[in-house]
Structure 1
């Protein structure tokens, strides 16, 4: 895994796989606690939102511990990768947030869930 000089992390979660959300949380926490990722902004794609029984973006946020993060900029975006739904919204957020950071040296807000 390449982490050096990463401005952002895009983490994709299978929202249908409730049994593995704990594993996803452990992996996610390991990545974001790496010192090389300390200043990276975080975009989480909660994929498979089109399927019955999928966790909502808020449930995925809770499962990953996003609401517990302090001094981190993050955003969760519900997606259906097969249809392309939500992907551009998430990437637009990422691009605008990175631009804001570049222009000001800091972001003005921490984003929460988005459907």
Structure 2
């Protein structure tokens, strides 16, 4: 798998969604989210499920990076799993991974 076959969901990319060819042949979707930004969780969920609805995107895996787990008010992995309705996704393999923001490494898995 090369880097072209990975699609990253990040806020600000929603204007690219109608461009069907942008993610044609995608093997993995990486969702990077700020677990302290409770207001945007619904937006991320909507974008993810919008992507899942298209029949030409049936064969990719989903990785959710739950960032900023080191911050006091961050949602837990269980809360994020529920908020994103990940357990409802039966057509794709998915995994949620905790990580913390580090000025030196930008993101460290925990």
Q: TM-score, normalised by structure 2?
A: 0.71
Whether the 8 Å contact between 2:70 and 2:101 is mirrored in structure 1 is: no
2:108 match: 85
| Aligned equivalents of 2:63, 2:82: Cα separation in 1 | 15
Deviation, structure 1 residue 7: 0.6
Alpha-carbon distance change, 81 to 4 in structure 1, aligned in 2, over 3 angstroms: farther
Aligned length: 87
| Aligned equivalents of 1:9, 1:59: Cα separation in 2 | 20
Query: Structure 1 or 2: larger strand share?
Result: 2
The alignment's C-alpha RMSD in Å is: 1.5
SS in 2 for 1:6: coil
2:79 aligns with one of 49, 59, 74: 59
Deviation, structure 1 residue 33: 2.0
Deviation, structure 1 residue 21: 1.1
Gaps of 5+ in 2: 1-15, 17-21
1:18 aligns with one of 38, 47, 55: 38
The structure 1 segments of at least 4 consecutive aligned residues displaced by more than 3 Å after TM superposition are: none
1:5 aligns with 2:36: no
Q: TM-score, normalised by structure 1?
A: 0.68
Query: Structure 1 or 2: larger helix share?
Result: 1
